[in-house]
Amino acid sequence: MSRQTQTLLGFDRLRKEYFGVPAVTDLVLDVPVGQVVGVIGENGAGKSTLMNMIGGVVPPTSGQMFWKGQAYAPRSPGDATMLGIAFIHQELNLFTNLTIAENIFVDGFPTRFGLIDRAEMRGKTQALLEQLSLDASPDTMVDHLAPGERQLVEIAKALHRDAELIIFDEPTTSLTPRETARLFETIERLKADHKTILYISHILSDVERLSDRIVVLRDGELVAEGPTDEFDIPRMITAMIGRELSGLFPKRSAKPRGETLLSVQGLSQPGVLDNVSFDIRAGEIFGLFGLMGSGRSEMARILFGLDPYAAGTVTLNGATLAGSVRDRIRAGMAFVTEDRRAEGLMMDASIMDNLSLVSIERFGRTPVALLDEKAIAAKTEALKSDIQIKAGSIAVQPVRSLSGGNQQKVVIGKWLINEPALFILDEPTRGVDVGAKYEIYALADRLAAAGNGILFISSELEEIAGVCDRVMVMNRGEVMGTFDAPPFVDTEILALAFGEQAKTREVSA
C-alpha cells in the first residue's frame, strides 16, 4: 500500500440511534492519511453525530471505528485527544481571559522546580505561532484577538498536542474573507505536513476548493463519496438534498398589498440608531442589510421593546407602540433572534414546551388555572406538521436533539399560535443548511402571502437579494438608502453598507 491510500480512521457499519431513530446508519468509510476530506450534508444528515462518535462524546449503538487499523472505542473526549484527534469548532473553546500561551498549555503547564516555566511556554508558543504565521505575542490575551486569529490559536493548540486528525466544523462562519483566505493557506500547509483533515462546511465552493475527497451524508446515510474532481456544486447539492433544487430561492407567491403595517419614524438612540424611518406594508418581505456594527440587530431589539430608545415612534396597524416586550407581542409582533441557542430556545426543554411558550397564556384562563393540555398538544402537533418539523415525539424530545434547520423552525413556530402581524427575522438562516434554508424562505413567503409583514435581517447578500421585496441598507445606525424593487445589485448594496457613497445613490428615502 502506498502512503496516500493508508487509512487513518475507518468506520465499519457504524450506527447511532436516538429513541430508536437512526442518526447515522451503517456507515462504511475510510479516511486516508494526509488528505483533506470534505464532509457535506444538510443539518440532520448525521454529520454532528458522526463527529460526536469520533470525538468520544457519544458511543455508537453498533458498528466499529478503527484508528490506524486498531479498533477505536473512545469513552470520553479525552481518549480522542490522547490519540491525536483535534476539533476546531464554530464556537471556539478558548479561555478569553487567558493569554495565547496559557490557552495552548492549559491542560499541562511545563514546570520547573514545581513552578510554571513561563519561558519555555512562551518559547514553544512562539514557535507554533510562527509556523501558523500568526503575528502575535504569546502573552496576548485571547480576548484581544479577532475570530480568525483565535481559530489559529485553536489550531496551534491542536499542533501542540501532536494531533494527526484535525476536524474543522464550519470554521469560516465568523471569519472575514481575508481571515478565510489565511485559514485555507493554513489548511494547505497542514496537509503538506501529512496531517489528515476532515472539513465540514455548508459553503460548497470552499469544500470544492480545499478537499481531495468529498463525502456526502443524507439522513444518516453515506450517499456519495469520491475524489473531488468527480463532484461539481450542482452534483453536491443534488446528493445532499436527494433531488434537483430548482432554485435557491422560492418564487414569491403573492405581491405585497398597499396598506402600511409597520411605520417607524425618526427612531434614535445615541450611539446606536440615528433617525431611522421606514414602513413595511402588509404582505411584504422587507430586507434589512448591514455589516456588523451597522445597528441592524440593535434596531430589531429596540423595535421589540427589549432596549430603550431616545426618540421616534413605532406604529403597528395604526397603533403607536410603547412599553414592554409583552405589549409588543400583544400588539402583534414576533421576534426571531439572531442567536437561537442563547435567546430563542430552551434547548433542554421539549419541542412542545418550546412551541407553546409564547402562547401559553391562551391555554389557561388565569395564570394559576390548570392548563388545557389537550389543546396544547393538538395545537403544537398541528403546528409541527404544518411547518414540517422533523422530529419524533414533540412532547418528549428536547429541542437540543434537532438539526439547526428544525430548531429554527421551532423558533419561528412558537410565534405562530398567536398569529402575529409582523415578524422580525434576524439572520433566520444562520447555521442552517441549503435545504432547510429553502424551507425557511418558503415559510417567510407563506407568512407574507397571508398578509403579514416581515422584516428580514441578514448579512448574506444573496438571500437578501433573493427573498426580499425591498431592501434597506444601514451603516453605523443610519439608513443609507432603500432599494424599492428587484433586481438588487450586490455591489450597490455593499457600497451603501460600507457607507462609501452615502445618500448620493439613494434610491428612495
Partner 1 sequence: MRLFLSDYFVLYLSLAYFFALVPFLPTLSNPANLANVLSNMWPLLVVAIGQTFVLTIAGIDLSQGSVVGFTSVVAAMLLATTASPDVLSNAPIWGIILTEEGGPLGHTSFGIPLAILIMILVGAAIGAFNGFAIAQFQMPPFMVTLVTMIVISAFAIFLTQSENIRNLPEQYILLGKGDIVSIYLGAQDESRIPRREIYSLITYPMVIAISVAIVAHLLLNRTVFGKQVFAVGTNRKAAEISGVPVRRIIVLVFTISAVCATIGAILYSTRLEAGRPTLGEGNFLLDVIGATVIGGTSLFGGKGKIIWTVFGVFFFVLLSNTLNLMNLSSFHIDMVKGSVIVAAALLDVWRTRLMREMNA
Which positions touch partner 1 (CB under 8 A)?
18-19, 52, 58, 304, 306, 325-326, 329, 335, 337, 342-349, 353, 356-358, 360-361, 363-364, 366-371, 373, 397-398, 400-401, 414
Kindly tell me which of 362 and 476 has the beta carbon lying closer to partner 1: 362
Question: In this complex, which beta carbon is closest to partner 1, that of residue 167 or of residue 336?
Answer: 336
Strand partners, 29: 11
| Residue 505 CA: distances (Å) to CA of 273, 314, 472, 489 | 21, 27, 13, 13
Grid cell listed for 316: 403597528
Residues 6+ apart with CB under 8 A from 251: none
Contacts of 100 by beta carbon, 8 Å cutoff, 6+ apart: 125, 129, 136, 137, 138, 139, 140, 142, 145, 153, 156
- What is the C-alpha separation between 204 and 108, in angstroms, rounded? 38
Residue number with CB closer to partner 1 (120 or 343): 343
Distance separating alpha carbons of residues 310 and 313, to the nearest angstrom: 10
Cβ closest to partner 1, residue 150 vs residue 414: 414
For residue 323, the one-letter residue type is G
For 95, the grid coordinates are: 479561555
> H helices within 55-146, ranges in order?
77-83, 100-104, 118-131
- Which of 309, 483 has the CB closer to partner 1? 309
Q: How far is the CB of 353 from partner 1 (least distance, A)?
A: 7
Pick 146 or 319: Cβ nearer partner 1: 319
Closer Cβ to partner 1, 395 or 507, answer by number: 395
CB of 226 to partner 1, least distance (A): 30
Instruction: State the nearest-atom distance from the C-beta of 348 to partner 1, in Å.
Output: 6
Q: How far is the CB of 420 from partner 1 (least distance, A)?
A: 11
Structural contact between residues 250 and 272, judged by C-beta atoms closer than 8 angstroms: no
Region class of 144: left (phi > 0), else alpha (psi between -120 and 50), else beta: alpha
Q: Which is nearer to partner 1, 137 or 324 (CB)?
A: 324
* Shortest distance (Å) from residue 76 CB to partner 1: 11
The residue ranges of DSSP E strands in 201-259, in sequence order, are: 213-218, 221-227
As measured in angstroms, the least distance from the Cβ of 18 to partner 1 is 6
Quick one: which H or E segment has residue 423? strand 422-426
